A and B are shown apart, each in its own frame.
Chain A
Amino acid sequence: MARNAKPTSLLDSLGEEIIRIVTPVSICMFLVVILVSVLNKDSSNSASVSSIATIAYNESSSDSDWDKFIGALLNSLAFVGVVTLATFILVLLFYFRCTKFLKIYMGYSAFVVLGFLGGEIALFFITDYSFPVDCITFVVILLNFSVVGVIAVFMSKMAIFVTQGYLVVIGMLVAYWFTLLPEWTTWVLLVAMALYDLAAVLLPIGPLRILVELAISRDEDIPALVYEARPVTQNNSSNATGVAQRRVWRETRVVNSAPVEDQNSGALDSDSVGNNQNGTNLVSVEEGRYQERISELTAPLIEQRLNYQWLVQEEDSSGGGFPIERIGLGSSGAIKLGLGDFIFYSVLVGRAAMYDFMTVYACYLAILAGLGVTLILLALYQKALPALPVSIFLGLEVRGEDLNFGYSSKSGLVVVNSSVLCKRDLDSVDHLLLHCIRTRVLWEKAYWILQANWMTASTGDIPFVPLPSHPQAVYPLKTQGTYQPAASQIEQILVPCLGNRSIGPLQQYQGYLGRLKPHVTTHQPHWDFPLFMGYFIRVFRLVYSQIHGIFGVNWESLTYSCKRIQLKSISSELNNPIFRFNQSLKSLAPHVKI
């Protein structure tokens, strides 16, 4: 029967190289999304990272949109400036053939990323999930992990699967770290990097283009962190020359010693190259990416991060089937993608994961579409191409579209537990008191008018102001143990406020607040913070809404939110974040006693 002797179909091998590059990109994005959703669970502004990307402006959520935009723009310009400088230094070093130095630096940066960034993230995991591990074990494991990673990246004789795995892990770690930047800065930075990529690769004075041309003219490899997929092997026995193990890639220049395969007889003409849009005849692309990290993460948190990427067409002048030893396997025939693209795609998707999973999905598809378009353009234009712009712009476009997607879908459902005000996070006492950007405006204004010193957790560190001299200071939480105001006592104090809806003199309310204070500092047998906060809000609503306008707060939904958190069913869950807040507060200011 003809079926038994059927030769392998066309579909078996078509598009394989693209899939081999799409799979690790997808894995990296998936891991970053998981990291973002698992580690950022309890707050919408986690500790932000101050780094080169935020030297110009540190975003805080109470600024207006225009301020944030300008600040983000300044940040991105600073960042792109630093990256350009670093690229030029790299070009200079490459020109002077300091390749060894570059390789050692690459190994060093891989070590720093794996060791310090990986260690930080592992520490986040350990603190979040209370994983029992001691310091020495942790250090030993981390050290081993990083050293193996350096060797995998540094030396080309490692099993390719290990190398690929480590490159994906490095990309994931750096991408996760980037997602910790403030929101506006991240988006503007992505756009800026895409534009920079475009400029640096296509303009004649662009550093990446110079670098690529130098590398081609010297026929050397650029020492950089580059992900290389396994080359596709032809199992086709109809290969006349019998050098069938390695696919010969097309080139623009005719290679004199390359074996001519009969079926590719038209292939070596440079004319036909441009007409072919198929994946199997794609000229291998090489995007190099060099990353340099300098310092580690401690409280002052100055990181310098220098990245750039480019997309280079690899001239395969290896001839015949002799693989030239390069980074990874003999690289004739494999698609290479620079780590920078992994990182920035994952940053886009990771940021999207902070909003909604539908955004993630749509951004993922957009990025893949952009990658596909870039590869097709590469096949068409046969020159170095930037990989970022198309994907990032498609991704941003989709993300912009998608903001309302979850809510205006055919079923019209809203995720039930999201905070009614900001729709960004789960409703909880912690969120309403400390993190919700809408209510924080409320608290700050309300407390100011009543001249009580309120301690807010803004982005990053908590500005703790010890106030032993202010007797009317009202702290939401006590640093030692927990405070439990008795519900009945609060009611006694506040019922006069709630009973009549008229505004008394301001001092009266201040007096009430002052009377709340001893109750918040003494131990009581039961815990009813949600109730307390509910009353608090009602008081302030009465006071504040009629004295000063406050913009951006929907009073109805605030009250509704507070009522919801008073439900018994979730009160036990709510205690946890507060308790953790207690603990971290304690570590920050142990000397303060109320």
Chain B
Amino acid sequence: MTVAAGIGYALIALGPSLAVFVAVISKKPFLILVLLSSTLVWLISLIILSGFWRAFLPLETTQWWPFMILIVTSVAFQEGVRILSWKLYKRLEEILDAFADRIAKPRLYLTDKMQIALAGGMGHGVAHAVFFCLSLLTPAFGQATFYVEKCSYMPFFLVSSLIALAFVTIHSFSMVIAFNGYAEGKKVDQLFVPIVHMAAGLLTLVNLVSGGCVIGVPLLFILATWTLMHCGRMVWRRLTENRNRPGSS
């Protein structure tokens, strides 16, 4: 439905991340680099996944359980990639701290670390939004719109933008939660992230049912809000703790 609608759909999916980018990430060049590399990592993980699944696709079936297997394996793989990025991040932290010592600058602050985690998560989220929403939006710039039978309440593009928005939120903030969980060793946080990711993935299966998107999409947003709140509480707690113990991070 014209260029305006196309841009609108793109902004629904990516607007908040654009705001965060401009306000937080673009101020520090290193965070931009982190974002770009985490996007690349996500893309590569997706390529590997698709290479693996190539033999079985396209899934001609209308059953739901092959999709479930697909989602479960993909989410498990991506959580594995997340653990790998945590390890890489530890190495990076060591290098940066050593470098900071060498040029007599302060070491990485807690906020710096959380910002790096946020940039990494946002890279994943943006990549998800681009591949699962923006790639489908090319027809939306034309003169018509498209409805899917099983979810005939909203145009297809709108539904996919909303789902992408929820996933962007989940990805961005779950990286912060995960890194903090690994740093502090808290099991709750460490397990929170994969569970939420898996739940979100499986929730999208609800959309396969006719009329399911009325249930599925709001539940997805509830998950996203929960992630956001959990992250906010955790960050608040750590920052207040940190303030009360000056000189440590």
Tell me the A residues contacting B by CB distance below 8 Å.
2-3, 6-16, 18-20, 22, 236, 238, 263-264, 266, 277-278, 280, 356-358, 361-362, 365-366, 368-369, 372, 398, 401, 405-406, 408-413, 415-417, 569, 573
* Closest partner residue, chain B, to A369 (CB atom): B40
Contact B112 A9 (CB under 8 A): yes
B residues near A263, Cβ cutoff 8 Å = 102-104
Complex: how many Å from CA A10 to CA B104? 10
- Chain B residue, CB-CB nearest to A264: B103
Distance between A403 CB and nearest chain B CB, rounded to angstroms: 12
The proximity string for B residues 84-108 relative to A, scoring 1 for CB distances below 8 Å and 0 otherwise, is 0000000000011001101111111
Chain B, Cβ-Cβ closest to A13: B29
Band of interface residues on B? 35 or more
Q: Across the interface, do B102 and A365 meet the contact criterion of CB distance under 8 Å?
A: no
B40's closest neighbor in chain A, by CB? A365
Name the contact of A18 in the complex, choosing from B33, B106, B130 (C-beta under 8 A).
Answer: B33
Return B75 CB to nearest CB of chain A, in Å: 11
Question: B43 contacts the other chain (Cβ, under 8 Å)?
Answer: yes
Contact residues of B between 19 and 33, Cβ < 8 Å to A: 27-33
Per-residue CB proximity of B61-103 to A under 8 Å, as 1/0? 0000000001100100000000000000000000110011011
Contact A416 B146, CB 8 Å, known A11-B31, A357-B135: yes
Pick from B137-145, B168-176, B183-191 the stretch touching chain A: B137-145
B29 touches A16 (CB 8 A): yes
B58: which A residues are within 8 A, CB to CB? 408, 412
Query: At the interface, is chain B mostly helix, strand, loop or mixed?
Result: helix
Q: Chain B's nearest CB lies how many Å from the CB of A74?
A: 33
CB distance from B5 to the nearest CB of A (A): 15
Could you tell me if B146 and A7 are in contact, using CB atoms closer than 8 angstroms? Answer: no
Q: How far is B37's CA from A309's CA once the two chains are assembled, in angstroms?
A: 26
**Contacting residues, chain B, for A278 (C-beta < 8 A):** 95, 99
Cβ of B243: which chain A residues have Cβ within 8 Å of it?
3
Asked if residues A2 and B247 are in contact (CB atoms below 8 Å), the reply is yes
State the Cβ distance, A262 to closest chain B Cβ, in Å: 8
Q: What are some 15 contacts across the A-B interface (CB < 8 A)? A: A10-B107, A11-B30, A11-B116, A12-B27, A16-B29, A18-B33, A238-B104, A264-B103, A266-B102, A356-B135, A357-B138, A405-B135, A409-B132, A411-B132, A411-B136
CB contacts (< 8 Å) of A409 on chain B: these are 50, 131-132, 135
In contact, A19 and B142 (Cβ under 8 angstroms): no
Residues in B whose Cβ lies below 8 Å from that of A22: 32, 36
* B57-A19 in contact (CB<8A): no
Please give me the residue from chain B that is nearest to A3 by CB atom: B243
Please determine whether B143 and A15 come into contact, CB atoms closer than 8 angstroms. Answer: no
A7 engages B131 (CB within 8 Å): no
In the assembled complex, the CB of A468 is this many whole angstroms from the nearest CB of chain B, namely: 42
Q: Report the bound CA distance from A398 to B48 in whole Å.
A: 12
B146 to nearest A CB, angstroms? 6
Contact in complex: A18, B39 (CB < 8 Å): no
- Contact B135 A14, beta carbon cutoff 8 Å: no
Q: Mark B231-249, 1 if CB is under 8 A from A, else 0.
A: 0000000000001001100
Q: Given A14-B96, A19-B33, is A573 in contact with B106 using a C-beta cutoff of 8 Å?
A: no
**Residues on A with beta carbons closer than 8 Å to the beta carbon of B115:** 11
What residues of chain B lie closer than 8 Å to A19, measured between beta carbons? 29, 32-33
The 9 closest A-B pairs by CB, nearest first: A19-B29, A15-B30, A14-B30, A16-B29, A15-B29, A10-B100, A358-B135, A365-B40, A11-B112
A15: contacting residue among B33, B100, B132, CB under 8 A = B33
CB A426 to nearest CB in B, in angstroms, measures 9
| CB atoms of B39 and A410 under 8 A apart | no
Residue of chain B at shortest CB distance from A407:
B58
Complex Cα distance, B30 from A8, in Å, reads 14
Interface: B109 (CB within 8 A): yes
- Contact A413:B136 (CB < 8 A) given known A16-B29, A365-B40, A408-B50: yes
A569 and B36 alpha carbons, distance in the complex (Å): 42
Check if B134 is an interface residue, CB within 8 A of chain A: yes
Query: Chain A residues with Cβ under 8 A from B139's Cβ?
Result: 415-417
Mark contacts of B38-49 with chain A using CB atoms, 8 A cut-off: 1 yes-contact digit, 0 otherwise.
Answer: 011001000100
* B138 engages A415 (CB within 8 Å): yes
* Given contact pairs A9-B108, A263-B103, A415-B138, a sample of 4 additional A-B residue pairs in the complex whose CB atoms are under 8 Å apart: A357-B138, A368-B36, A405-B50, A573-B143
Shortest CB distance B245–A (Å): 11
In the complex, what residues of B have CB within 8 A of residue A368's CB? Answer: 36, 40
Hey, which chain B residues are within 8 Å of A405, CB to CB?
Answer: 50, 131, 135
CB–CB A10/B108 < 8 A: yes
B106 touches A7 (CB 8 A): yes
CB B19 to nearest CB in A, in angstroms, measures 19
- What is the distance, in angstroms, from B168's C-beta to the closest C-beta of chain A? 15
Determine the chain B residues whose CB is within 8 A of the CB of A417 once the complex forms.
139, 142
**Cα separation A413 to B156 with both chains bound (whole Å):** 11
Q: How far is the CA of A467 from the CA of B144 in the complex (A)?
A: 42
Contacts of A401 in B (CB 8 A): 47
Point out the residues of chain A lying under 8 angstroms from B112, CB to CB.
9-11
CB distance from B42 to the nearest CB of A (A): 10
Residue in B closest to A397 when the chains form the complex, CB atoms: B47
Query: In the assembled complex, which residues on chain B have CB atoms less than 8 Å from the CB atom of A362?
Result: 43
Q: Give the residue name and chain of the B residue nearest to A356 (CB).
A: B135
Contact B28–A12 (Cβ < 8 Å) = yes
Contact B29 A14 (CB under 8 A): yes
Point out the residues of chain B lying under 8 angstroms from A277, CB to CB. 95
Bitwise interface map of B from 115 to 152 toward A, beta carbon under 8 Å scored 1, else 0: 11000000000000011101110110011101000000
**Which residues does chain B contribute within 8 Å of A398, judged by CB atoms?**
47
Instruction: Write out the residue numbers on chain B whose beta carbons fall within 8 Å of the beta carbon of A413.
Output: 136
On whether A365 and B36 interact (CB within 8 A), knowing A263-B103, A263-B104, the answer reads yes
Query: CB distance A9 to B132 under 8 Å?
Result: no
